[in-house]
Amino acid sequence: MRKIVVPGELLSDKSPRGKDIIIENGKAYATVMGVYDDQKNSFVPLEGPWYPQSDDLVIGIVEEAKLTTSIVDMNSLYKGLLISKYSDTNMESGDIVEAIVRDVDETRTAVLQRPRKLFGGKIIDVKPTKVHRILGREDTMIRQIEQSTGATIKIGMNGRIWIKGGDVALASKAILQIEEEAHTSGLTERINKMLTEGKNNK
């Protein structure tokens, strides 16, 4: 059974899978609001910031472009830093980029690599804790949205999503509904129904 838990609430005598958990005297407690599944012994946070890790894919906006470095807004407490030796792409302020986190330092700076510019499109921001639900198991949810809407969608682990082409409005609506209802059961079926009805009404 799945249930909503609040910070400090006991989850299990076993250590569940997931982040934002503390263990005291062999018992696991939630540190943020989330959903605990006692059958799977898993905890999914509903709130909380994104902490960059190596190999995370991010979507950012270039804030400041210099000759050897560029500062990237990642919708986070952390700033992205693009260094010319890790990039052969010339950046300008306002560019939308997809990049990979190389490393993170103690100054809340994430060094980025392999940037790729994204042209046009629309950006929406969601809570980073909901990204895995938007992607779905083995990316099945986001592939369904792309197939149903004809849109190209790039999802950053920082909670920033880029959408271009096809039915951008329907794709955005589906993503925002998943963010809002991520903790509820039967969500996949509701999203599929909404996408089908959205296509049929065109």
pLDDT value for 2: 73
Six token digits for residue 148: 């149903």
What is the radius of gyration, based on Cα positions, of the chain?
A: 19
List phi, psi (to 5°) of 194. Answer: -65, -40
Class of domain 57-118: mainly beta
Contact indicator for 164, 121 with CB cutoff of 8 Å: yes
Closest CA to 134 of 143, 122, 142: 142
For residue range 50-91, what is the model confidence (pLDDT) as tens digits? 889 899 999 999 999 988 899 999 988 899 999 988 777 788
- The architecture of the domain spanning 122-200 is 2-Layer Sandwich (3.30)
For residue range 85-115, what is the model confidence (pLDDT) as tens digits? 877 778 899 999 999 999 998 888 999 999 9
pLDDT value for 142: 95
Query: Would the CATH topology of 57-118 be identical to that of 122-200?
Result: no
Question: Within a 10 A sphere around the Cβ of 108, how many other Cβ atoms?
Answer: 12
Six token digits for residue 35: 């959903």
pTM comes to 0.80
Query: CATH 3.30.70.20: does it fit domain 2-45?
Result: no
